[in-house]
């Protein structure tokens, strides 16, 4: 009887440990836009270029909408084949980190 009790409490401890690991993973989760940004090597150019750099009026970023547009242009230019929602995530990440538009 005691033996079974011990197995039970051990498995509960393991279960709790697993849950703990899961929640720590969730809280450390990165912005989906950062993951896409890193995976698509955007920094290969933008580490040196930075952002808010373009002298080209077509690429001038003044709000969230034009930010998403320029991310699309860069993505198309590189033939990355990103989906619209992925563009949205990247634009949101860049806005949080660099542009800070509230409109
Ligand atoms: C091959 C180099 C290169 C890569 C890789 C690249 N970019 Fe760009 N990006 C540029 C250049 C050059 C410009 C400025 C273009 C211009 O002036 O017409 C630019 C402009 C931009 C702008 C507008 C910049 C501004 O003035 O505020 C954004 C936003 C942007 N890129 C996002 C991205 C994202 C997101 C990725 C990854 C998916 C990416 N870029 C990958 C070269 C690159």
Same-domain pairing of 21 and 42 = no
| pLDDT score for 22 | 55
Calculate how far, in angstroms, residue 71's C-alpha sits from the geometric centre of ligand 1: 7
Same-domain pairing of 45 and 25 = no
| pLDDT score for 9 | 61
Same-domain pairing of 63 and 101 = yes
Same-domain pairing of 38 and 15 = no
Same-domain pairing of 19 and 35 = no
pTM to 2 decimal places: 0.78
pLDDT per residue as tens digits for the range 46-68: 999 888 887 888 789 999 999 99
Domain membership of residue 16 as a residue range: 1-29
CA pair distance 19, 48, nearest whole angstrom: 41
Same-domain pairing of 55 and 90 = yes
- Residue 41 or residue 13, greater confidence: 41
Give Dmax over CA atoms of the chain in angstroms: 78
Same-domain pairing of 14 and 39 = no
Pocket of ligand 1 (CB under 6 A): 37, 40-42, 44-46, 49, 51-56, 59, 61, 67, 70-71, 74-75, 78, 80, 90, 94
CATH classification at residue 82: 1.10.760
Same-domain pairing of 5 and 37 = no
Same-domain pairing of 83 and 36 = yes
Same-domain pairing of 45 and 22 = no
Whether residue 93 contacts residue 34, with contact meaning beta carbons closer than 8 Å, is answered with yes
Minimum CA distance residue for ligand 1 atom 39: 42
Calculate how far, in angstroms, residue 50's C-alpha sits from the geometric centre of ligand 1: 9
Same-domain pairing of 54 and 86 = yes
| pLDDT score for 70 | 95
């Amino acid at each position: 009887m005691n033996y079974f009790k011990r197995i039970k409490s051990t498995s509960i401890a393991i279960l709790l440990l697993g849950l703990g690991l899961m929640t720590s993973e969730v809280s450390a989760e990165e912005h989906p836009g950062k993951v896409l940004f890193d995976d698509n090597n955007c920094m290969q150019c933008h580490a040196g270029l930075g952002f808010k750099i373009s002298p080209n009026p077509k690429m001038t970023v003044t709000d969230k909408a034009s930010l998403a547009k320029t991310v699309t242009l860069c993505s198309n230019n590189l033939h990355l084949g990103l989906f619209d929602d992925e563009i949205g995530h990247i634009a949101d990440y860049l806005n949080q980190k660099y542009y800070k538009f509230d409109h």
